[in-house]
Amino acid sequence: MTFDSEYFNIGYLDSLSYKDTFVHRLDPRVKLLVSFVFILFVVSFPKYDLSGLMPFFIYPVFLLTAGDIPLRVIAKKVIFVSPFALFIGIFNPLFDTSVLLTLFGIPITGGWISFLSIIVKFILTVSTALLLIAATSFLGLCEALERLKLPRVFVIQLLFLYRYLFVLLEETFRMLRAKDARSFGKRGSEIKTFKRLISILLVRTVERAERIYQAMLSRGFRGEIRMLRRHTLRVQDFLFALFSVSLFYVFRHYNIVSILGETLGRTLR
Amino acid sequence: MSHHILELKDVHFSYPDGIEALKGISFRILHGESVGLTGANGSGKTTLLMNLNGQLLPTKGGVSIGEIPLNKKTKQEIKRKVGYVFQRPNDQLFMPTVYEDVAFGPVNLGLTPEQVDERVKSALETVGCLHLSHRPPHRLSEGQKNAVAIATVMAMKPDILVMDEPASNLDPKSRRQLINLLKRFEHTKIIASHDLDLILDVCERCIIIKDGKIAADGPAEEILLNKTLLEENNLELPLSRQNVIYKGLNLKATKAIPEKGLTT
């Protein structure tokens, strides 16, 4: 993974959020809250309850398809962070060896079940968070956070982060290219060089911050930034929130998979 | 209208590290005048501009806009009167979208949302960027960023427009559009640039700064055609006045370009 490809990756995720689909049009506050509630529901499942989690896949799948977001982009990122979840659960099969059920004659221990449920919970929560970002413009998210009463200082920090992320990345990009153009093989790519690059980047950033602050002062900045309000809650936002949260509630309290299985079994018999 | 007069009296400025960037600059700019400011690299152009709207305060001497002397108390008021277009649009555009960026100044002036909206739209209209209002600045081209940066200042309706190298990084067409735009503004303008053709096109008066002092101040046509003066200041004749015409050169000519064909 090189710096260049990562740079374009961020740009790509950013460009996805400018699409215009049902999911993109939803009020960011609603998307944020529903996703948060979703994550709470998912993590509230007991560790052996694997089948109960399955219906929850409907939410990320909905965001993915209705938001017209390529599965590959999200899957790649989920896999990229998956080691964290793997290492949390990897020893469960060793410690918890009580046999819970036998499938086709193979005994399945509680450890394996709880390990799998950690993985499933991880996929559900992380993919939802990523999809939320991909299907909501960063500004929308910031607006949502602001209107949900997050302290303004944090929101403004995020906004500046978003504004200058690309500028700073390009600056780094140029410096790295200038370094590459004059270094051959290992010479010129020592840690020492990178230490200097980073320190120069820091100095330049401080100088830039100074100039930006002057630009803000020149236009009457007195410690307050007011943001535009782009979104208003509409009927579909309420319906979406109501429908999804009640669906999560049903999934949490009734094991849809076993109910389905039983009905299917009964009709077959 | 005497309140748009900009006057500098023996302005000195030293940076905290002891470098004396301005060593006694005095001039008077009248209402509606457009003045080009030029000089070698490091001669003090940007420092001078920053002293005009209170980003820096003179260490000695005084700046006054109209009847108001520039000091710590009047800094806010001066900033409103003197619109400053920064050299790098990336520094100037810090809000998440073009619309919000242009609205930043008017909002800080305490205007009502309707007034803000009207100002933003007319400023963007002036620079021909109304269609960009909902774009984030990092997705604009350099020329678009430049135009929007000017709009952010225009939206504050300043009396005096100060610009630092407005045409650097622009392609010839964008540069031409900028020149046409600047010609249309009736503001008092102070433009610092190395683009002498731009100064010749836009400004009737030109000031050359050398080592923190004024080396020349007069009509642009006169100063910018004074070859020795320009060369003393690391400058050269504007391209449009170099008059190098390949007289005998046309498509039919098969011979090498004759020496005589070059007239200066």
Q: Which of B79, B152, B156 comes nearest A217 by C-beta? A: B79
Query: Residue B255 pLDDT > 60, yes or no?
Result: no
A218–B53: do the CB atoms touch at under 8 Å? Answer: yes
Query: Residue A106 pLDDT > 90, yes or no?
Result: no
Q: Which stretch, A14-23, A228-237, B150-159, has highest mean pLDDT?
A: B150-159
- The more confidently predicted of residues B67 and B243 is B67
Which chain B residues contact residue A218 at CB under 8 A? 53, 55, 79, 83-84, 86
Question: Chain A, 122-151: which have a CB under 8 Å from a chain B CB?
Answer: 138-139, 142
Q: Return d(Cα B154, Cα A265) in angstroms, integer.
A: 74
Q: How far is CA B105 from CA A30, B117, B138, B149, B159, in A?
A: 31, 12, 20, 12, 14
Q: Return d(Cα A213, Cα B91) in angstroms, integer.
A: 9
Q: Do residue A103 and residue A180 come from a single domain?
A: no
Q: Do residue A62 and residue A195 come from a single domain?
A: no
Tokens at residue A96, please? 């918890």
A228–B109: do the CB atoms touch at under 8 Å? Answer: no
Report yes or no: B55 at the A interface, CB cutoff 8 Å. yes
* Confidence at A41, pLDDT banded by 50, 70, 90: very high
B250: left (phi over 0), alpha (psi -120 to 50) or beta: beta
Instruction: Identify from A219, A224, A225, A226 which residue to disrupt to test chain B contact, counting B C-beta atoms within 10 A and taking the largest count.
Output: A219
Q: Do residue A113 and residue A157 come from a single domain?
A: no
Q: How far is CA B169 from CA A35, A84, B76, B144, in A?
A: 44, 46, 31, 11
Q: Which of A139, A163, A218 comes nearest B84 by C-beta? A: A218
Which chain B residues contact residue A228 at CB under 8 A? 97, 99-100, 103
- How open is the CA angle A69-A14-A247, to the nearest 5 degrees? 45
Tokens at residue B3, please? 């309140």
Domain-ending residue, one of A215, A230, A245: A230
A220–B76: do the CB atoms touch at under 8 Å? Answer: yes
Q: Which of A164, A35, A196 is nearest to B138 (CA)?
A: A164
Which chain B residues contact residue A164 at CB under 8 A? 94
Q: Return d(Cα B229, Cα B235) in angstroms, integer.
A: 8
What is the mean predicted confidence (pLDDT) over B23-34?
92
Query: Residue A182 pLDDT > 50, yes or no?
Result: yes
Cβ contacts of A13 within 8 Å, gap of 6 or more:
A73, A133, A134
- Asked if A181 contacts A173 with a C-beta cutoff of 8 angstroms, the reply is no
Q: Which of A13, A16, A170 is nearest to A76 (CA)?
A: A13
How high is the pLDDT of residue B260?
A: 52
Q: Do residue A5 and residue A127 come from a single domain?
A: yes
**Residue A250: which H helix or E strand, with range?**
helix A235-253
- How open is the CA angle B84-B90-B95, to the nearest 5 degrees? 85
B100–A220: do the CB atoms touch at under 8 Å? Answer: no
Cβ contacts of B259 within 8 Å, gap of 6 or more:
none
Q: Do residue A38 and residue A57 come from a single domain?
A: yes
Q: Do residue A226 and residue A243 come from a single domain?
A: no
Tokens at residue A162, please? 């978003």
Residue-wise pLDDT for A112-170, tens only, equals 888 999 999 999 999 999 999 888 888 888 888 888 888 888 888 888 888 888 888 88
- Which CATH number describes the domain made up of B4-252? 3.40.50.300
Tokens at residue B112, please? 């009502």
Q: Do residue A70 and residue A37 come from a single domain?
A: yes
Tokens at residue A266, please? 């009964």
Report yes or no: A157 at the B interface, CB cutoff 8 Å. no
Q: Which of A142, A215, A228 comes nearest B94 by C-beta? A: A215
- Which domain covers residue A195, as residue numbers? 152-230
Tokens at residue A190, please? 């020592």
What is the mean predicted confidence (pLDDT) over A194-221?
88
Q: Do residue A128 and residue A207 come from a single domain?
A: no
- Asked if B179 contacts B202 with a C-beta cutoff of 8 angstroms, the reply is yes
Cβ contacts of B185 within 8 Å, gap of 6 or more:
B161
* Confidence at B254, pLDDT banded by 50, 70, 90: very low
Report yes or no: A216 at the B interface, CB cutoff 8 Å. yes
Instruction: Identify from A13, A218, A222, A227 which residue to disrupt to test chain B contact, counting B C-beta atoms within 10 A and taking the largest count.
Output: A218
SS3 call for B225: coil
Report yes or no: B158 at the A interface, CB cutoff 8 Å. no
Cβ contacts of B64 within 8 Å, gap of 6 or more:
B6, B7, B9, B70
**Residue B263: which H helix or E strand, with range?**
strand B262-263
Lowest mean pLDDT among A166-170, A195-199, B202-206: A166-170
Query: Residue A202 pLDDT > 70, yes or no?
Result: yes
- How open is the CA angle A81-A84-A85, to the nearest 5 degrees? 100
A38: left (phi over 0), alpha (psi -120 to 50) or beta: alpha
A220–B105: do the CB atoms touch at under 8 Å? Answer: yes
What is the mean predicted confidence (pLDDT) over A96-107?
79
Query: Residue A7 pLDDT > 90, yes or no?
Result: no
Q: Do residue A215 and residue A267 come from a single domain?
A: no
- How many residues can be counted in chain B? 264
Phi, psi of A58 (to 5 degrees): -60, -35
How high is the pLDDT of residue B264?
A: 45
Q: Return d(Cα B70, Cα B53) in angstroms, integer.
A: 8
Nearest CA in chain B to A158: B96
Q: Do residue A111 and residue A4 come from a single domain?
A: yes
Q: Which amino acid is at A253?
A: H
Q: Residue ranges per domain, chain B?
A: 4-252
How high is the pLDDT of residue B252?
A: 47
**Residue B24: which H helix or E strand, with range?**
strand B20-29
Q: Which of B50, B79, B97 comes nearest A139 by C-beta? A: B97
Count the domains in chain A: 2
Q: Do residue A143 and residue A158 come from a single domain?
A: no
**Residue A121: which H helix or E strand, with range?**
helix A110-135
ipTM for the whole complex: 0.74
How high is the pLDDT of residue A157?
A: 87
Report yes or no: A173 at the B interface, CB cutoff 8 Å. no
